[in-house]
């Protein structure tokens, strides 16, 4: 249709959001503004990430630099940047962040939205110049606007997300998001300081030949999972594992593949967090025609019971996820 033509040359993220907003003339525009706030913080974090090695902002939190300022780790900086952007924007009433033990109540009762965010994911890769990411979920609060926030506003199952996205700080920086009408990807043009639509209406291949799992912990795999991995090898699939969820997910979304973080002895419920890691990617996956499951149920149907709860994650191309689930549900 003519939309695809319009998007093919130089459509900035701002224009794209505006165009989408115009499709809903009665919408207030607050979600659009919220997405723009996130994009702005992403640009700042991108800048910090790019100069991390130079600016002496890698390394341990708590050290002091030559100016006597406290050095901060990049994930702490990212948390501050995103929290600040979401606070100043005024659309958000509460934030759940991987970096904060408790819910951040912004005391902004007129804010309609709750955001769950992992400001900088891929901790083992932050200091070694390998792709890292930001993951975010946006919910509409369930209690009336104007009243204090409640736990019910926070503990919503993933299927109630109104938008979700990720930023990949990779060989180029990308922002990928959905508002429930497909998935669109934008690539950052450094010199212009703008995200441009580069991946309109992203669709995941229904199958693929990449499997992504940390095989270093294979001693902890269930029998079914071990058999599935053996099956991947028998098919000569490629093993690809960066150890940054966003990067591994993004590659598999484009090329076709499966990402698995299973339950292990160390992490009986898996390692990844439901509210700000699994849910957002599950929503994007489904919107792109892929799937996300915890081994028993759809990730988006899990009713959260605690803020930082973990979940096993089987996510990626439909055929591969379903095959993996068949293997792991067999008793022997």
Chain residues binding ligand AHM by CB under 6 A are 98, 121-124, 214, 243-245, 248, 271
* Among ligand AHM, Mg ion, none, residue 109 binds (CB under 5-8 Å by kind): none
Q: Are 167 and 45 in contact (CB under 8 A)?
A: yes
Largest CA distance in the chain: 61
Specify the pairing of strand 113-121 against strand 92-97: parallel
* Among ligand AHM, Mg ion, none, residue 89 binds (CB under 5-8 Å by kind): none
User: What residue ranges bind Mg ion (CB under 5 A)?
Assistant: 118, 121
* Among ligand AHM, Mg ion, none, residue 12 binds (CB under 5-8 Å by kind): none
196 CB-near residues (< 8 Å, 6+ apart) = 10, 11, 12, 13, 186, 187, 188, 189
> Among all chains, which residue has been given the structure tokens 């076709």?
256
Instruction: State in angstroms the smallest separation of the CB of 234 from Mg ion.
Output: 32
50 CB-near residues (< 8 Å, 6+ apart) = none
Instruction: State in angstroms the smallest separation of the CB of 202 from ligand AHM.
Output: 20
Instruction: State in angstroms the smallest separation of the CB of 114 from ligand AHM.
Output: 20
Q: Are 325 and 299 in contact (CB under 8 A)?
A: no
Specify the pairing of strand 210-212 against strand 238-239: parallel
Nearer to ligand AHM by Cβ, of 14 and 127: the residue is 127
Point out the annotated binding site for Mg(2+).
98, 118, 120-121, 277
> Among all chains, which residue has been given the structure tokens 């639509």?
197
Distance CA 246, CA 98 (A): 15
Nearer to Mg ion by Cβ, of 32 and 212: the residue is 212
Q: Which residue is nearest to Mg ion (CB)?
A: 121
Nearer to Mg ion by Cβ, of 184 and 244: the residue is 244
Nearer to Mg ion by Cβ, of 118 and 263: the residue is 118
- CA angle (101 as vertex; 69, 273 as ends), nearest 5: 115
* Among Mg ion, ligand AHM, none, residue 291 binds (CB under 5-8 Å by kind): none
Instruction: State in angstroms the smallest separation of the CB of 31 from Mg ion.
Output: 24
């Amino acid at each position: 249709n003519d939309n695809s033509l319009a998007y093919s040359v130089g459509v900035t993220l701002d224009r794209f959001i505006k165009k989408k907003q115009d499709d809903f003339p009665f919408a207030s525009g607050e979600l659009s503004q919220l997405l723009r706030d996130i994009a702005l913080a992403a640009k700042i974090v991108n800048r910090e990430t790019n100069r991390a090695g130079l600016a002496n902002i890698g390394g341990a939190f708590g050290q002091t630099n030559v100016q006597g300022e406290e050095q901060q780790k990049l994930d702490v900086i990212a948390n501050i940047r995103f929290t600040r952007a979401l606070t100043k924007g005024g659309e958000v009433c509460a934030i759940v962040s991987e970096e904060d033990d408790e819910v951040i109540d912004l005391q902004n009762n007129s804010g309609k939205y709750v955001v769950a965010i992992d400001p900088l994911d891929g901790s083992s890769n932050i200091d070694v110049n390998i792709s890292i990411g930001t993951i975010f979920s946006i919910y509409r609060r369930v209690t009336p606007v104007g009243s204090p926030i409640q736990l019910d506003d926070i503990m919503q199952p993933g299927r109630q997300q109104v938008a979700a996205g990720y930023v990949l700080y990779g060989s180029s920086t990308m922002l990928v998001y959905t508002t429930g009408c497909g998935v669109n990807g934008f690539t950052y043009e450094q010199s212009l300081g703008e995200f441009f639509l580069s991946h309109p209406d992203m669709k995941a291949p229904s199958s693929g030949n990449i499997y992504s799992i940390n095989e270093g912990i294979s001693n902890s795999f269930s029998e079914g999972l071990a058999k599935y991995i053996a099956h991947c090898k028998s098919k000569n699939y490629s093993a690809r594992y960066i150890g940054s969820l966003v990067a591994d997910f993004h590659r598999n979304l484009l090329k076709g593949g499966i990402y698995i973080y299973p339950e292990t002895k160390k992490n009986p419920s898996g390692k990844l967090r439901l509210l700000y890691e699994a849910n957002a990617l599950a929503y994007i996956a489904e919107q792109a025609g892929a799937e996300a499951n915890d081994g028993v149920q759809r990730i988006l149907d899990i009713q959260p019971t605690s803020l930082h709860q973990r979940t096993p994650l089987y996510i990626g191309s439909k055929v591969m996820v379903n095959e993996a689930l068949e293997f792991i549900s067999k008793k022997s």
